[in-house]
């Protein structure tokens, strides 16, 4: 029997950033959609297949490394703070409600 090993992936899907999205705070202006070249939709929503957690009115999404630039452009263009990179404070707040 072989000993178990952990293999680390070199592919860009394993690297990225956590994004917080507050769907009830969107203004549906389309700025994030246009600036991100469609990464966010009209409602500032990140792609649903990046979502992995919902708590206290917030969705956490994983943004793969290859999409960070597009996501950042959308965050920068968004007139309200309904999408932003997750901070340790965000994570602590969201996980304490579980």
pTM of the model: 0.82
- Residue-wise pLDDT for 6-46, tens only, equals 555 556 557 999 999 999 999 999 999 999 999 999 999 99
Q: Decide: 52 and 95 in contact? Cβ < 8 Å.
A: no
- The residue range of the domain holding 87 is 14-96
The domain that contains 30 carries what CATH number? 3.30.70.20
Task: Tell whether 82 is covered by a domain.
Answer: yes
User: Is 72 strand, coil or helix?
Assistant: helix
The total number of structural domains that make up the chain: 1
- Residue-wise pLDDT for 32-91, tens only, equals 999 999 999 999 999 999 999 999 899 999 999 999 999 999 999 999 999 999 999 988
Q: How far apart are CA 31 and CA 36, in angstroms?
A: 8
Task: Tell whether 66 is covered by a domain.
Answer: yes
Task: Tell whether 70 is covered by a domain.
Answer: yes
Q: Sort 83 into a burial class: Cβ within 10 Å, 0-12 / 13-18 / 19+.
A: buried
């Amino acid at each position: 029997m072989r000993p178990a090993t952990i293999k680390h992936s070199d592919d860009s899907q394993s690297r990225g950033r956590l994004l917080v999205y507050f769907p009830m705070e969107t203004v549906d202006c389309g700025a994030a959609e246009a600036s991100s070249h469609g990464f966010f939709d009209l409602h500032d929503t990140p792609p649903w297949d990046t979502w992995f957690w919902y708590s206290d009115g917030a969705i956490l999404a994983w943004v793969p490394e290859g999409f960070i630039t597009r996501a950042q452009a959308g965050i920068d263009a968004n007139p309200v703070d309904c999408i932003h990179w997750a901070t340790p404070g965000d994570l602590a707040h969201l996980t304490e409600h579980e």
